[in-house]
């Protein structure tokens, strides 16, 4: 079990220091526009970081409110030497399901799930540090899809929970994060954890994130042609150690795994009409079930008389992605890190190990999709959506983004025992705002 650091003499790895020095200086105001107030402005006061001790421990609480669940990240940083960068000491991670968007009409109940996770922070942060530890919640695509009034009601109730907590609540501590920031900050997290941005090298890895409601692609283009042919709004620049990185990044709302299920079933247009059953060739023939997503109930089932299996299923999901996503040519020969639902579905179908992850080709997802979909008559347990999900992932990668069959995907959940995703990158930006990197 994890114990908060109490011993000032405890030494972190030199990599941790290098890692932090790099990251803290990386995400600049070119990403977060100067006229936009960031959630961590003024969070830490000088009194919180006493300079008359040899080591000072800082904590940060970051909530990731996704469409399918709410996650808490409690990061521990240690300030070894006054005026120098703190070191990443560790992370505590926990989660609850379903996500806040499932409580669209019960905002107080939704906020209670956040309150439950706050207990994790209380257990892992010494009481003496509670008042100086900021707590922040960033919601992603699940709340972006809700009517604004309902999303704001949820956020208001969460903020009320925060205000009752013993932690520091900065202005704008609860908000909906822009999808492009999600992609950029996840890319930052992955490339620092893997050491790809050590020094002045621009050899980096692209990232693919597949959530419940949205999907992100981010990479550093190597060819001028890519920069010339990329639509406006897909490129973001930032400076790092006198190098300017021009990232290709885009978030596609409505193309997350669960939103894609609704689109495949044709359910997005109808909001789950009472008594109407949505049918698909991607589902076991005799299946009759109901599914609640985003607070709406849907009836669904297999094609009782019609087709089923991979080919007709692929035609269904193809309608969702074909021609809807920009296809940068250079990614065909690149390798990417992929996480979230890419990882989960690969684990469920025994393509990779849950703990270790693994490397797959795009064609491995297609091979597994064919295997699952063409044996639907033998369906017994597990997710009835497995065929649809694997087929959608295949179509998203090949016909959506335009990846080659042979493109390598590094499937991972953690690097150096730190959870993948945007949360750590967002916390790095917190350090930048404190001027620690100067």
Provide the β-strand partners of residue 95.
Answer: 71
* Bridging pattern class, strands 206-210 and 87-96: unpaired
Query: Is residue 213 marked as binding?
Result: yes
Question: What is the Cα–Cα distance from 354 to 231, expressed in whole angstroms?
Answer: 37
Question: What is the Cα–Cα distance from 438 to 24, expressed in whole angstroms?
Answer: 9
DSSP state of 398: I
* Residue 137 and residue 158 in contact, taking contact as beta carbons nearer than 8 Å: yes
* Residue 218 and residue 186 in contact, taking contact as beta carbons nearer than 8 Å: yes
Q: How many CB atoms lie within 10 A of CB 413?
A: 17
Query: Is residue 165 marked as binding?
Result: no
Query: Is residue 212 marked as binding?
Result: yes
User: Residues 91, 157, 159, 182: which is the catalytic one?
Assistant: 182
Residue 279 burial (10 A CB sphere; 0-12, 13-18, 19+): buried
Query: Is residue 216 marked as binding?
Result: yes
Instruction: Please measure the distance between the N-terminal and C-terminal CA atoms of the chain and give it in whole angstroms.
Output: 35
Q: How many CB atoms lie within 10 A of CB 3?
A: 8
* Bridging pattern class, strands 418-419 and 414-415: antiparallel
Cα–Cα nearest to 256, from 96, 155, 140, 159: 140
Question: What is the Cα–Cα distance from 91 to 374, expressed in whole angstroms?
Answer: 42
* Residue 60 and residue 427 in contact, taking contact as beta carbons nearer than 8 Å: yes
- The question of whether 182 is a catalytic residue gets the answer yes
Question: What is the Cα–Cα distance from 298 to 139, expressed in whole angstroms?
Answer: 24
List residues forming the annotated binding site for ATP. 212-216
List residues forming the annotated binding site. 212-216
Active-site annotation, residues: 182
């Amino acid at each position: 079990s994890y114990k908060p650091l109490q011993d000032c003499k405890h030494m972190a790895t030199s990599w941790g220091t290098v890692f932090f020095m790099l990251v803290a200086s990386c995400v600049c105001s070119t990403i977060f526009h100067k006229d936009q107030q960031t959630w961590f402005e003024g969070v830490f006061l000088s009194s919180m970081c006493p300079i008359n001790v040899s080591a000072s421990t800082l904590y940060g609480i970051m909530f990731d409110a996704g469409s399918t669940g709410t996650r808490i990240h409690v990061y521990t940083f240690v300030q070894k030497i006054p005026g120098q960068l703190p070191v990443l000491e560790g992370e505590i991670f926990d989660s609850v399901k379903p996500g806040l968007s499932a409580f669209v009409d019960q905002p107080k109940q939704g906020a209670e799930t956040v309150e439950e996770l706050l207990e994790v922070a209380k257990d892992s942060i010494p009481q003496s540090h509670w008042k100086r530890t900021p707590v922040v919640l960033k919601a992603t695509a699940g709340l972006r899809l809700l009517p604004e009034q309902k999303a704001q009601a949820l956020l208001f109730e969460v903020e009320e929970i925060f205000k009752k907590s013993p932690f520091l609540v900065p202005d704008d501590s609860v908000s909906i994060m822009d999808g492009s920031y999600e992609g950029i900050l996840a890319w930052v997290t992955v490339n620092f954890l893997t050491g790809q941005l050590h020094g002045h090298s621009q050899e980096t890895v692209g990232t693919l994130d597949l959530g419940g409601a949205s999907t992100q692609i981010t990479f550093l283009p190597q060819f001028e042609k890519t920069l010339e042919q990329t639509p406006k709004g897909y490129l973001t620049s930032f400076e790092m150690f006198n190098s300017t990185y021009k990232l290709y990044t885009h978030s596609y709302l409505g193309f997350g795994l669960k939103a894609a299920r609704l689109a495949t079933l044709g359910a997005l247009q109808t909001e789950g009409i009472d008594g109407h059953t949505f049918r698909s060739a991607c589902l076991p023939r005799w299946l009759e079930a109901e599914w609640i997503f985003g607070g709406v109930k849907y009836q669904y089932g297999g094609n009782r008389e019609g087709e089923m299996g991979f080919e007709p299923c692929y035609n269904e999901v193809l309608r969702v992605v074909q021609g809807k996503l920009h296809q940068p040519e250079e990614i065909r020969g690149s390798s990417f890190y992929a996480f979230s639902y890419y990882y989960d579905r690969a684990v469920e179908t025994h393509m990779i190990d849950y703990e270790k992850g693994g490397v797959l080709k795009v064609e491995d997802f297609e091979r597994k999709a064919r295997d699952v979909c063409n044996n639907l008559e033998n369906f017994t347990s597990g997710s009835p959506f497995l065929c649809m999900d694997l087929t959608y992932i295949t179509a998203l990668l090949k016909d959506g983004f335009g990846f080659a069959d042979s493109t390598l995907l590094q499937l991972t959940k953690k690097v150096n025992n730190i959870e993948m995703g945007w949360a750590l990158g967002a916390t790095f930006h917190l350090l930048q705002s404190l001027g620690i990197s100067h």
